[in-house]
Structure 1
Amino acid sequence: MDHGLPDDHTVRAALALAVRAPSVHNTQPWRWRIADRSVHLYLDPTRALPSTDPDQRDLVLSCGAALHHLRVAFAALGWSAVVHRLPNPAQPNHLASIEPVRHRPIPYEIELSAAITRRRTDRRPFSAWPVPPGYLGLVTERAATLGATVRQAVDGSRDCLVEAMRAAAERHAGDPGYRLEPAEWSGRHDGVQWSDEAHESDCAELLVLSTSADHRLSRLCAGEALSAVLLTATNIGLATCLLTEPLEIPALRDRVRIGVLDDYGYPQAVIRIGWAPTSAETLPATPRRAVEDVLDPFDATEAAAC
């Protein structure tokens, strides 16, 4: 970049943190382009999972998380991000244009940026220590600022959610097409090992992140809110795990919408949140593609249409 905007080292440092974002089944479905005054985020359709995610909801959600990671990274490096979401109707995979503006970072932004490299998807059972209501309130507030609602599943709504997770696991176990896709990803150097993530018997809190609409923009914003929840939780010492399996089957997603959200809003993600056991070992970082592997040349003609 030039004209007083971040130098290439700063931009690449921010992108290196952005690609640490969580993605469903670790698909990492993002592509980035760097222009003189902006950074552009694109969805990579070649990373799609047709059986698992036929409408690409999970892919857009994952890209939203990467977008928020980039904003957090830029803020800690001294650059606020002006974001234009879905800037080009003719290019639906062009998800965001990000314009950095000089900014003095505050401690909270630096702390969230530091949490990016510490965050892990923790599928292990959590301890019985309760999560303070204030902590749950904080992650709820952070999600709300990005246009999403977080609902804690308790009592009957928790039973509904756990049953939906169990039903999804059983249905997918008998679906060869669904089972093949995660198996293909787990065999790649950048894939994720497929495992049962429900752990309904442990002491985790279950949070459902939802939006008032269910179009591409709302799913992108849901991903940003998801990132805010996960990084906030990491920053205050909580362990987290993103779950989407019960939301990948339309009938079960409707069941969660009715049974947990009282037939209001659209569930976009389920988050297990709690305390890892004090004796638990530190989890290794999940492999990610290098920044160079997700960068494309900038297309000025395409940008002119935005």
Structure 2
Amino acid sequence: MLTRRALITATPLLVAGCSAGESPYDRAARDLWRLPDLGGGVPMLALVHAATLAANGHNTQPWRFRIQPRVIEILPDFSRRTPVVDPDDHHLFVSLGCALETLLRAGLGYGWAGEPELLPSGGVRIAFSSAPARPDALFQAIPHRASTRTEYDGRPVSAATLRGLEAAVGPEVALRWVLDPDDRAHLTDMIVDGNSAQLADPAFMRELTDWIRFDSREALAQRDGLFTAASGNLTAPRWLGERLLPMVMTEQGEAERIARWMKSSAGAAIFTGPSETPAGWIAVGRAFTRFALKATAAGLKLAFLNQPVEDIWMRRRMAAWMGAPARRPDLVVRFGYGPELPRSLRRPTQAVLVP
């Protein structure tokens, strides 16, 4: 067993980015998080690249892409599902919606308008036609959007910015603001309770650990999962990280961290889709992506705190609190002004293409 002395001794070895200059991980992230200037043509590979930058659960990247002349299909990749935290593939299809909306926004920026069509398989087929290029603020925000899992600075967001975010969501998906101190305290309690239930579930912890990338070498080799440095945490080789995790990810410690995160945020938003179906979940992913890109363009940071919507009993409690017991709240997102953190990676475009 690792003792406190051993932990203290190991800590200097855990700090990321100690060497001078740009690390291989930093270089990979810099090369990834950009939109290429193509100078003409039908940018199918560029659109797929943009779509892979979309938000997705546990950074599992549960999607495949098929390219045809002026057509792209986005297909669910069930081999990358997370059956413990996402037993009905809700997050998987929300992630698919995030990729779809990012792809459509990238298309408009490059001068190609996409018309999406849901497929019986659960995927989406997008047919493109030429259109005037619209490299607007949402297009420009694609390579800057991130899930920033750290404390923010507590500054409020203006009413005009909130109105713009609400307009970006659109009418199909319901948006519930959580700005009032009492509501924020109540939501914080539900997030903490949901998180505590997950930490007490050995299957959840095994699945989470499988998707954690404990150091930059592992993150660079896999190019998926939850890189610890991207959450502002220390890094370590997997053999050590797995042993340290139960010491640092405790129920009390996580409750205190969630409380700090929520207190430092300007507020939170809860997204509720039109139906409890893959089509409804894709709609949630699309609406959230517009919200996230609009927020990013306004200089805001965002992060998910989805614990209370991932447990059925906690989800019912949240729905009742929201006054809509028959509806399913889909996403909980906090937002505010905060720092930049290291970016997560994505698999290469060629790795997500299918014939």
**Do they fold alike, i.e. is TM over 0.5?**
yes
Q: Which has the higher helix share?
A: 2
Aligned residue in 2 for 1:23: 56
Aligned residue in 2 for 1:303: none
For residues 212 and 159 of structure 1, the distance between their equivalents in structure 2, rounded to whole angstroms, comes to: 27
Aligned residue in 2 for 1:301: none
Letter in 2 for 1:152: W
Segment drifting more, 198-207 vs 27-36: 198-207
> Of 202, 206, 220, which aligns to 2:264?
202
In the alignment, is the contact (CA less than 8 A) between 1:158 and 1:260 conserved in 2? no
For residues 112 and 275 of structure 2, the distance between their equivalents in structure 1, rounded to whole angstroms, comes to: 30
Q: Deviations over 1:263-296 (max 9, x none)?
A: 36321111111111xxx3x322211111111000
For the residue of structure 1 that corresponds to 2:136, the secondary structure is: helix
In the alignment, is the contact (CA less than 8 A) between 1:157 and 1:260 conserved in 2? no
In the alignment, is the contact (CA less than 8 A) between 2:113 and 2:128 conserved in 1? yes
For residues 151 and 176 of structure 1, the distance between their equivalents in structure 2, rounded to whole angstroms, comes to: 32
In the alignment, is the contact (CA less than 8 A) between 1:161 and 1:260 conserved in 2? no
In the alignment, is the contact (CA less than 8 A) between 1:25 and 1:192 conserved in 2? yes
In the alignment, is the contact (CA less than 8 A) between 1:211 and 1:218 conserved in 2? yes
| 1:174 is aligned to 2:200 | yes
For residues 80 and 12 of structure 1, the distance between their equivalents in structure 2, rounded to whole angstroms, comes to: 15
| 1:219 CA drift (Å) | 0.3
For the residue of structure 2 that corresponds to 1:285, the secondary structure is: coil
Q: 1:222 to 1:232 in 2, by over 3 A?
A: same
Matches within 5 A, 1:47-66: 47-66=80-99
For residues 173 and 184 of structure 1, the distance between their equivalents in structure 2, rounded to whole angstroms, comes to: 15
Unaligned regions of 5+ residues in structure 1, if any?
1-5, 298-306
| 1:33 is aligned to 2:66 | yes
Letter in 2 for 1:27: T
For residues 22 and 46 of structure 1, the distance between their equivalents in structure 2, rounded to whole angstroms, comes to: 18
> Of 173, 176, 201, which aligns to 1:151?
176
For residues 323 and 106 of structure 2, the distance between their equivalents in structure 1, rounded to whole angstroms, comes to: 32
Could you say what the CA RMSD is over the residues aligned between the two structures, in angstroms?
A: 1.8
For the residue of structure 2 that corresponds to 1:253, the secondary structure is: helix
Matches within 5 A, 1:210-249: 210-249=272-311
TM-score by length of 2: 0.74
Aligned residue in 2 for 1:192: 226
Identity %: 25
In the alignment, is the contact (CA less than 8 A) between 1:164 and 1:246 conserved in 2? yes
Number of positions where the alignment pairs a residue of Structure 1 with one of Structure 2 = 279
Aligned residue in 1 for 2:10: none
**Structure with the greater alpha carbon radius of gyration:** 2
| 1:97 is aligned to 2:125 | yes
Q: Deviations over 1:17-48 (max 9, x none)?
A: 11000111111101100112311011100111
Q: 1:242 to 1:273 in 2, by over 3 A?
A: same
Letter in 2 for 1:285: R
For the residue of structure 1 that corresponds to 2:84, the secondary structure is: coil
In the alignment, is the contact (CA less than 8 A) between 1:39 and 1:99 conserved in 2? yes
| 1:173 CA drift (Å) | 1.0
Letter in 2 for 1:256: M
TM-score by length of 1: 0.86
| 1:261 CA drift (Å) | 4.8
> Of 129, 133, 152, which aligns to 1:126?
152
For the residue of structure 1 that corresponds to 2:225, the secondary structure is: coil
